[in-house]
Structure 1
Amino acid sequence: VGELLQPGGYLKLIELGLEDCVKEIDAQRVLGYALFKDGKHTKLSYPLETFDSDVAGRSFHNGRFVQRMREKAASLSNVRLEQGTVTSLLEENGTIKGVQYKTKEGNELMRLYAPLTIVCDGCFSNLRRSL
């Protein structure tokens, strides 16, 4: 699945120190849009004149970007990476408190609690219904 990160999104990556996550994943710089209809065309450029020359949109394969973000997170000393498949959200008094998941090996069911739970399992989400 392809993604188009707008210039503002790239600026946010820079602000967070994550701009290297779009490097070496075949990301293409995008400077605007081209519209074609009935043999005519027009170009719409992003208004980038006031930014550093590297600022532009980026088009890339979603999986490669997500993998780079995972690698970046795993490299941080205050992050512990747990991999598995979430089977359900853990709710207490109407608030999501964590997740229940199967370990990567698939042989153990675990519970993990956190102050913030982000549901980001894609457009075919199984968890969205329970929110």
Structure 2
Amino acid sequence: MSYPANLRYTKDHEWISLEGDIATIGITEFAQRELGDIVYVEVETIGKALVAGAVFGTVEAVKTVSDLFLPVAGSIQELNPELANQPELVNSDPYGEGWMVKMKVDNPADVDALLDAAGYEAVVG
């Protein structure tokens, strides 16, 4: 499995990419493989300020529903519009077209405290 070195990761299997104070968030390749075929992504927190670790949405697979946890504090700005008609993008391209949300980060330095690729790989084995 791949864990791009330019991203940061959480133990809950989310990844985050930061540009300025705007972050893009999705789930890792490991997470999407564990869940199986993704059929729906629900995010009802657009425009809301949330703390790190808060549930910002859910991802539904054929056999299960899983919560999505915010890696750092901030406000959800946007849901990936492609996921409404193509939730399988999370499976086919988890680090690219399968991103889930964009958010304005309260403190960009918080991203540095998350796991790097090697740290995340050690968590998932």
Q: Same fold (TM over 0.5)?
A: no
More relative contact order, 1 or 2 (CA 8 Å, 6+ apart): 2
Highest CA radius of gyration, 1 or 2? Answer: 1
Question: Normalising by the residue count of structure 1, what TM-score does the alignment of the two structures yield?
Answer: 0.27
